[in-house]
Amino acid sequence: MQSELNLKEGPGARLILASQSPRRRRLLEEAGYEFTVLVPGVHAECGRCSGETPAQLVARLAYQKAADVVPQVHEGIVLGCDTVVECLGEVLGKPADERHAGEMLRRLRGREHRVWSGLCLWRRPANRVQVAVDVTRLRMHEISPDTLERYLASGDWEGKAGAFGYQDGIPWIEILEGSASNVVGLPLELLARLLADAAGGVVPGS
């Protein structure tokens, strides 16, 4: 069992990232944040509820991930995040296998779609909770069957919502509006605003 963390809240308080995503860790590191990682249980990522919009889905899952690790934290700010791709009203999570990834990419090909991320900041011991959602509009260009098959064979789609990773420099994915870091998996601009809006915020490099 992981020991309880004792992180001082206040200016420069440490973040606790409730995620096992290496991309979220890298984004926080590159932005200059100091943080600790606690991985939530798989039960914290249960599927979509009936009638739930993409925004409601990511907000709920971000909250659940944060809530799952909060009992382990005495002082600090727990950060939960969840990201999905939505196209024509259909939510696309992480593909189960290569066939599933191909289905997702064929659905996205030539179409505009959106990446939604929910953020939850849970401050301990005050138990003050902030939840917000960010959205980025993108378009996948028309790509040839050969290009699609090469990408599927590369395995770069694994573990990525919508079966693609914008951070991989894919030339056939174009951002039309919104945050690039949101597409990677953690909207840094929204995170900075949430932290600035609340007393005792976290500042990069502190």
List the catalytic residues.
82
What token pair was written down for 37? 């990682």
The rounded distance, in Å, linking the Cα atoms of 149 and 157 is 11
Cα four-point dihedral sign 10, 60, 27, 190: negative
What token pair was written down for 189? 């601009």
Give the list of residues 6+ apart from residue 18 with CB closer than 8 angstroms, or none: 38, 39, 40, 65, 66, 68, 69, 78, 79, 80, 81
